Amino acid sequence: MGQTITEKIFSEHANRRVKAGEIVRVDIDMIIGNDITTPISIRAFEESGAKSLARPDNFSIVMDHYIPAKDIASANQAKISRDFAYKHNLKYFFDEKDMGIEHALLPEKGLVVPGDIIIGADSHTCTHGALGAFSTGMGSTDISFGMITGGNWFKVPETIKVELIGKPAKHIYGKDIILELIRQIGVDGALYKAIEFVGDGVSYLNMADRFSIANMVIEAGAKNGIFAVDNITEEYLEARAKINGGLRAEPKIHYSDRDASYCQTITIDISKLSPVVAYPFLPSNGKSIEKAVSDDLKIDQVMIGSCTNGRIEDLRIASEIVKGKRVAKHTRMIVTPATQKILLQAQKEGLIDTLIEAGAVVSNPTCGACLGGYMGILGDGERCVATTNRNFVGRMGARTSEIYLANSAVAASSAIAGKISDPRDI
């Protein structure tokens, strides 16, 4: 019996052939912490008596949730990570001088590569599976174990194969594909499973689409999402290597065997998709854009950004839609580029000018609005169209507020219309 990509990655790290269901102890290629979760890991690390990181060049801290600090509490929280990074002369410590949302920044820096095993104390660490890596979120104490030992224990997950067929129409993106999958299988449809995306439809997805898809597999309960490396992945990696003077490590590329064992197969014809909008209060509550438009839902705020949809492609899409128009009088539009490099690129292309002239406010790279931290809190009864990944009760502010998850085109067109709008009509 053949192996899946995920099984092969674990086999390579375990130095023996493994299969789904086995529990293995393997070394970690990259551990990711942030200003919210890392202080807990640091406390456990220090209480253990450890004096140094087992693999310091395989550990990164990205300050992205409340940076710049929004209050004294968040400033003190950030200080814990800063002090630790300076004490241990951490090579991969990213603060205000070179900041970004962790799951956009590390791929941009060439710090995660195909074949890696990656963990982070953030549930959306699964984003990096877009590069052909095994990447998953773990608890802060699990992260501290990795800091101390350089490795961790895993149960090798079974794999669901999702076959994408057809060519997506205009304004159909990775966000629509993953929202459709979650709509079909539910928020617990892939508990502790890997989701592998295959099929001819994958060739039409750029890296931004793939990152969005892998980012949200956790919303179906999955352990990880993964794409096989192809020419699109290779071009992305080559560009990162050129910009950064190389990648952190040599990619180790794996492909699933033809006779690999899958626990389930799902086929989605992406040529037949309309933009998908996930209604409150679950990412699985997906509706077609036609349904959303017919419901005539007035919108108070639009948020474009996050680790899901804050890349340069998202800013280009939004800018194209709002160019020469104005955000509706009763609607606010917040744009959060995922990294400073993305912000600089958007400035060079004139996208920031276009967005601000349309009435948007552009913030620094931060997770703030997505998790209801700052830079976009919702008040009582307010509705928001967001390109983020979660729309739980109170996720972005007041418990009576509502979040509608959508792609960047739907978000931008809704900002102009002041209600949920179909970008294909613009």
The answer on pLDDT for 305 being more than 90 is: yes
pLDDT at 1: 83
Nearest to 62 by CA among 21, 16, 120: 120
As a whole number, mean pLDDT of residues 378-385 equals 97
Give tens-digit pLDDT for 110-152. Answer: 999 999 999 999 999 999 999 999 999 999 999 999 999 999 9
Please give the share of the chain, as a percent, with pLDDT higher than 90: 98
Tell me the pLDDT band of 46, cut-offs 50, 70 and 90: very high
What is the rounded CA–CA span in Å between residue 128 and residue 132? 8
| CA dist list (Å): 189 to 125, 252, 379, 396 | 19, 30, 32, 25
Mean pLDDT of the chain: 96
Give tens-digit pLDDT for 152-189. Answer: 999 999 999 999 999 999 999 999 999 999 999 999 99
pLDDT at 251: 95
- Is there a contact between 270 and 164 (Cβ–Cβ < 8 Å)? yes
Full set of structural domains in the chain with CATH: 7-268 (3.30.499.10), 276-425 (3.30.499.10)
pLDDT at 240: 95
Amino acid letter at 198?
Answer: V
As a whole number, mean pLDDT of residues 268-280 equals 97
Tell me the pLDDT band of 426, cut-offs 50, 70 and 90: confident
Q: Exposed, middle or buried by CB within 10 Å (0-12, 13-18, 19+), for 294? A: exposed
pLDDT at 260: 96
Three-class SS string for the chain? Answer: CECCHHHHHHHHHHCCCCCCCCEEEEECCEEEEECCCHHHHHHHHHHCCCCCCCCHHHEEEECCCCCCCCCHHHHHHHHHHHHHHHHCCCCEEECHHHCECHHHHHHHCCCCCCCCEEEECCHHHHHHHHHCCEEEECCHHHHHHHHHHCEEEEECCEEEEEEEECCCCCCCCHHHHHHHHHHHHCCCCCCCEEEEEECHHHHHCCHHHHHHHHHCHHHHCCCEEEECCCHHHHHHHHHHHHHHCCCCCCCCCCCCCCCECCCEEEEEEHHHCCCEEECCCCCCCEEEHHHHHHCCCECCEEEEEHHHHCCHHHHHHHHHHHCCCCCCCCCEEEEECCEHHHHHHHHHCCHHHHHHHHCCEECCCCCCCCCCCCCCCECCCCEEEECCCCCCCCCCECCCCEEEECCHHHHHHHHHHCECCCHHHC
Please give the share of the chain, as a percent, with pLDDT higher than 70: 100
Which residues sit opposite 227 in a β-bridge? 197
Contacts with 24 (C-beta within 8 Å, 6 or more apart), sequence order:
10, 13, 14, 18, 153, 154, 156
Q: Is the dihedral of CA 302, 209, 62, 52 positive or negative?
A: positive
As a whole number, mean pLDDT of residues 359-364 equals 96
As a whole number, mean pLDDT of residues 397-418 equals 97
User: ∠ CA(249), CA(119), CA(9), 5° rounding?
Assistant: 60
CA 278 remoteness from chain centre: 17
- Is there a contact between 404 and 309 (Cβ–Cβ < 8 Å)? no
As a whole number, mean pLDDT of residues 178-202 equals 97
pLDDT at 134: 98
Q: Which residue has the tokens 């014809």?
A: 269
| CA dist list (Å): 26 to 9, 54, 131 | 10, 13, 20
